[in-house]
Amino acid sequence: MKIRLALLLSLIFSVASIGPSFGAGERFALVIGNAKYPDAEAPLKEPINDARDVAEELKRDGFTVDIGENLTGDGMRRAFERLYSKIKPGSVALIFFSGFGVQSNRQSYMIPVDAQIWTEADVRRDGFSLEMILGEINSRGAGVKIALLDASRRNPFERRFRSFSAGLAPVIAPNGTLVMYSAALSSVISDNGSDRSLFVRELLKEMRTPDLMAEETLNRTRVGVTRASRQEQVPWISSSLAEDFSFIPGATGSRPSTPPPPPPVTPPPPAKAEVPPPPPPPPAKAEVPPPPPPPPARVEVPPPPPPPPARVETPPPPPANTAVASLADDPTIKSLTAKLLDNPDDGPALYRRGQVYASKGAYELAIKDFNNSLRLNPKDVEAYNNRCWARTVIGDLAAALKDCNEALRLRPNFVDALDSRGLVNLKSGQTKNAIADFDAALKINPRLTSSLYGRGIAKKRSGAISEGDLDINNAKAMDPNIAKEFSEYGVQ
């Protein structure tokens, strides 16, 4: 008995002497890739592929992974509940989300594919607050909490709430939390046209590097993304980890994996055969040039017949406006149109359909819906502002100015209407008035990129070149697509 006890104690001490293991608790991960948002012009290319790649890597790193693709609000709610139910004290819980994110009231929200967002309250209703989710995970006893969000994209809901800040907000997270966004706070990144994001590509590369703690992994990811994008994309990191953690389990960074294949064995070169030297060439024979051939007889070629008269091609008739016709198949427009068929005086449906039409470039249809919305509610400030903006884009500047002025009469210091009227004045050549409107909008919301870029254009036109360039560069840093947006408005 004493011998067995001594052996048991020896085994315990030998195990304890191995050293600490990093992230020894059970590992659970929820990976979500949302790409098919009905309000977007086209499905996003990156989220599904990125989510699958991240899920496979996390499985190799010992995580129990739950992956969801194109999740609705109910689907995301159930997925988070499954994650909560698995967590035990000391567990590691990781969330990866790729899709659209929205900042509201200084919180970041992950957006499901069926979200109906028209106002700020809708963001809180349909979105999932990162802070609330991390708090719930913490309350279940998770020791290490990690959130990786690739959601700093230009979202399709922007035109509905232009006073909101773009991008994501800083997170107030419990101790033991590591958070990383794919871009800087309150900034968005443009689509690189690839089927995988630069952020995830660099993240996976560093996660596969042995002997790195999680914070170093994410810091190296940030450096890699910043360099590869030439400082156009700088990820954001927040850490309050209270213990060491490595994505690759084990103190030495090792992970169970199949050993790499042995290097190919290069066979020795075959013995070189001795080749006898070639015989010397025969002596050169004097060449006698042949006599020149007689000149060919000249053959008279009759001239070619004259070409037939050129056929005049009748240009085909111009194609129908397929872009506008295809809007009828848009799921959001289809559902709103169905409501209006049942009740033509449904004011909210008219206003929302007008917003969708405007966001897809069907400005005339949008204006018709705003007209009917204002017929039902002549004090609809949002409808006046949106009609002002739509009329500005198509060049109906006098009518647009009246709409913006009415919106500001009904709601003084309405930031969206100030921004819209600034665009009206900019297109009308009233640069001083444009600067005044953009200044007023930026005083309310200093990160309103449309006002910042518009003020930069107006300043340059008024002769303040350096000040204008500064505004334009700052706006582009926050939103790389802002110049393209203004060019679509007719402003270069």
Burial 447-486 (b: 16+ CB within 10 A, else e): bbbbbbbbbbbbbbeeebeeebeebbeebbbbbbebbebb
Task: Report the pLDDT value the prediction gives residue 292, as an integer from 0 to 100.
Answer: 54
Judged against a pLDDT cut of 50, whether residue 1 lies above it is answered with no
What is the per-residue pLDDT across 20-51, written as a single tens digit (0 to 9) for each? Answer: 344 458 999 999 999 999 888 789 999 999 99
What is the per-residue pLDDT across 182-207, written as a single tens digit (0 to 9) for each? Answer: 999 888 887 667 889 999 999 999 99
Q: How confident is the model at residue 310 (pLDDT cuts 50, 70, 90)?
A: very low
Burial 5-22 (b: 16+ CB within 10 A, else e): eeeeeeeeeeeeeeeeeb
Task: Tell me the C-alpha distance between 29 and 67, whole Å.
Answer: 8
Task: Tell me the C-alpha distance between 443 and 432, whole Å.
Answer: 16
* Phi and psi, residue 303, nearest 5°: -65, 145
Q: Are 225 and 234 in contact (CB under 8 A)?
A: yes
Q: How confident is the model at residue 281 (pLDDT cuts 50, 70, 90)?
A: low
> Is the pTM value of this prediction over 0.75?
no
The most confident of 10-19, 313-322, 348-357, by mean pLDDT: 348-357
Q: Is the alpha carbon torsion for 196, 201, 203, 204 positive or negative?
A: positive
CATH T-level fold of 20-239: Rossmann fold (3.40.50)
Task: Report the pLDDT value the prediction gives residue 488, as an integer from 0 to 100.
Answer: 84
Q: Are 145 and 174 in contact (CB under 8 A)?
A: yes
Calculate what percentage of the chain has a pLDDT beyond 70: 77
Task: Report the pLDDT value the prediction gives residue 391, as an integer from 0 to 100.
Answer: 95
Judged against a pLDDT cut of 70, whether residue 164 lies above it is answered with no
Burial class (CB in 10 A: 0-12, 13-18, 19+), 278: exposed
Task: Report the pLDDT value the prediction gives residue 273, as an integer from 0 to 100.
Answer: 43
Q: How confident is the model at residue 445 (pLDDT cuts 50, 70, 90)?
A: confident
Residue whose C-alpha is closest to residue 49's, from 96, 88, 114, 16: 96
List the structure tokens of 323.
């872009």
Q: Tell which CATH classification among 1.25.40.10, 1.20.1270.10, 3.40.50.300, 1.10.10.10 matches the domain 341-488.
A: 1.25.40.10
End-to-end CA distance of the chain: 89
What is the per-residue pLDDT across 171-187, written as a single tens digit (0 to 9) for each? Answer: 888 999 999 999 998 88
> DSSP 3-state assignment of 345?
coil
User: H or E stretch including 217?
Assistant: helix 214-228
Domain boundary assignment for the chain: 20-239, 341-488
Task: Tell me the C-alpha distance between 254 and 211, whole Å.
Answer: 8
Beta strands (DSSP E) in 276-368 are: none
